Structure 1
């Protein structure tokens, strides 16, 4: 670092920069050079690397790479490059000002952590899309599991950001949160219960998206369209949507008509109104008429 600064100082002196403004000019040149390097790296990734990856994924017959390297994932990857370059090269611009350098590096690290969280969440979304189209996994309610993993990633990222801003070890913050675990359990009660219920529903194959279920307690009688951490959405036959807590499907009883559909049968629920005044015994004339109609129909066949 000192060698680079000395070489730059000699170069600026040869260019005629006065000794009084040499330090400021040197810092401006270094900062400008770092920004140019970050801009060029970002431009290179967006204009060359990203199109190349898209062309390679488009040529393959598999579809998983198209989801895995979608626009959201690639865009977040490009967002990571400039702050990483700034984080690595900024010490050259502030060699003798540790307070200013520490403040700027904290901001860079916070930005890097936030973008990394977005990148991981986008990657998990792509994995969910791939698994939802997989033959063996598409019938399992995995959305709640992926949502829980995203929530864990966000919590870890927030802890890292807070620890960076207050200059504390993340382990100490986690230890402090452990003392307030009861409050966290109360705040995230529905989320935790939904995660446990989702694992039980998936492990026991009790519910799949597309199943016809009946749960009179919650007014649900229709097809399951979505299973998340906190709700199970059921589209009733009148196109209304009923939301049921996942843990209610485990703790209470519900009726799943999947077996009937897999057997090839179908239950038809219709109301037939009959006027009791029209119900009577057939007369002999009507009996003869019906016998004649049956005989004529058999003769025609």
Structure 2
């Protein structure tokens, strides 16, 4: 191939010399004609290869079942390869055409070489873009940080490309250039600090399966509370539930704390953990008449009978003086209310009874006694979950008065000031 090119572009100069033209004039005339011929040949090669490659790839894409070749067509890989071939022809031809013009050869040959390197990098980029789109269409890879992996690979190729470009421009051997780059590696690390941290974080995220695309994460430091829509080498994009987008540095996922709700979404229920505050002064022992009245509440009727019999037996066997209610064992309105809520939760259809379901009393506070519901809803969708939780607490708040209890309500300071 090289000898064929050499024959084409060395043909004119001897002919012009035989015609009696001067050496300088013959050189410039052959240069002009050879340049025109080179451009025409390069364009013809481009048209031929573009027609062949694009058509061939389109035919193959239609006949094969895989979608990867369709994505190569979409990313115009064949078109860029068709650009590359004539420039390789030009790169081989420039030294022959400019044989008598060393100054111009030192300019044009490196320039064409740099453009070829950039074209090769662009072709590689289109191939990896097609790979990225292909893997994203496969369900088992759709939640993986494919963008990060592609960016890491492309950074490696770009680094190699930059080394080749510098070698081409300055005529430095690649080995010597790598030695120089090793000496300035500290500066490179400083400049590309975020990229390097992002690279390490991306590897950790992928290996430890910390975050996937589609995961619901919460990160208070960055105000993120929503679904992960993109994981790149430098950033992670989160679409918040208010439809805003938060961008988080990728390395923050390994250096800072964040909450991933994937485990909850993959579990059998979403936790309900909320409490009401009962005013301490409203808690008291229950009288016989009150117990008889509360027995009308069906969910705790049997419980009252069983507990009352147990308590009466204990007090009687231990000769407890019941002239004072504090003596012996007694039922309280708060304890009975807690039992009622527990029974109500066990009968509520929206809760998963195979998981923990209880009503518990927390540490007393200056604002009253917290009575907390701890349960799991079957439905994990946000709107349905909120409805279930609100429905439960609507009933609990409305039920408080039947047990002669009061809910603590903070005093409005503006009313006091008046």
Q: Please state which band the TM-score falls in when normalised by the shorter chain.
A: 0.7 to 0.9
Match of 1:189 in 2: 193
**Shift in alpha-carbon separation, 1:180–1:24, aligned structure 2, 3 A:** closer
Give CA-to-partner distance per residue, 1:217-239, whole Å, 9 cap, x none. 33222111111111111111111
CA contact (8 A) 1:34 1:90 kept: no
- Alpha-carbon distance in 2 for matches of 1:31, 1:140: 51
The answer to whether 1:77 aligns with 2:77 is no
Deviation at 1:68, TM superposition (A): 2.8
Match of 2:142 in 1: 138
Match of 2:338 in 1: none
- Alpha-carbon distance in 2 for matches of 1:143, 1:269: 35
The answer to whether 1:108 aligns with 2:112 is yes
CA contact (8 A) 1:30 1:92 kept: no
**From 237, 241, 252, the counterpart of 2:245:** 241
- Alpha-carbon distance in 2 for matches of 1:74, 1:39: 16
Structure 1, 94-103 or 220-229: larger mean CA deviation: 94-103
1:269-288 to structure 2, matched below 5 A, reads: 269=386, 280-281=401-402
Match of 2:97 in 1: 93
Deviation at 1:130, TM superposition (A): 1.6
The answer to whether 1:219 aligns with 2:223 is yes
Match of 1:296 in 2: none
Deviation at 1:160, TM superposition (A): 1.8
The answer to whether 1:263 aligns with 2:262 is no
The answer to whether 1:60 aligns with 2:84 is no
Give CA-to-partner distance per residue, 1:184-233, whole Å, 9 cap, x none. 22221111111111111111112110011222333222111111111111
Match of 2:42 in 1: 38
CA contact (8 A) 2:135 2:142 kept: yes
**From 158, 161, 164, the counterpart of 1:160:** 164
**From 18, 21, 26, the counterpart of 1:19:** 21
- Alpha-carbon distance in 2 for matches of 1:191, 1:124: 19
Give CA-to-partner distance per residue, 1:72-130, whole Å, 9 cap, x none. 32222122122111111233323333333232211111111111121112222111112
Match of 1:250 in 2: 254
- Alpha-carbon distance in 2 for matches of 1:8, 1:221: 73
Match of 1:174 in 2: 178
- Alpha-carbon distance in 1 for matches of 2:402, 2:7: 114
- Alpha-carbon distance in 2 for matches of 1:86, 1:130: 35
The answer to whether 1:204 aligns with 2:203 is no
- Alpha-carbon distance in 1 for matches of 2:31, 2:236: 58
Give CA-to-partner distance per residue, 1:249-297, whole Å, 9 cap, x none. 22233222222222353443478597x89963389xxxxxxxxxxxxxx
Structure 1, 82-91 or 36-45: larger mean CA deviation: 82-91
CA contact (8 A) 2:12 2:30 kept: yes
- Alpha-carbon distance in 1 for matches of 2:117, 2:265: 48
Give CA-to-partner distance per residue, 1:19-69, whole Å, 9 cap, x none. 345444333332222222111001112233312321221222210111134
- Alpha-carbon distance in 2 for matches of 1:243, 1:4: 58
Q: Give ranges in structure 1 of 5+ residues lacking alignment.
A: 284-301
Task: Answer with 1 or 2: which has the greater Rg.
Answer: 2
CA contact (8 A) 2:10 2:96 kept: no
**Shift in alpha-carbon separation, 1:24–1:231, aligned structure 2, 3 A:** closer
**Shift in alpha-carbon separation, 1:31–1:259, aligned structure 2, 3 A:** same
- Alpha-carbon distance in 2 for matches of 1:278, 1:259: 34
- Alpha-carbon distance in 2 for matches of 1:26, 1:215: 69
- Alpha-carbon distance in 1 for matches of 2:9, 2:228: 66
TM-score by length of 1: 0.81
**Cα RMSD (Å) of the superposition?**
3.0
Deviation at 1:135, TM superposition (A): 3.4
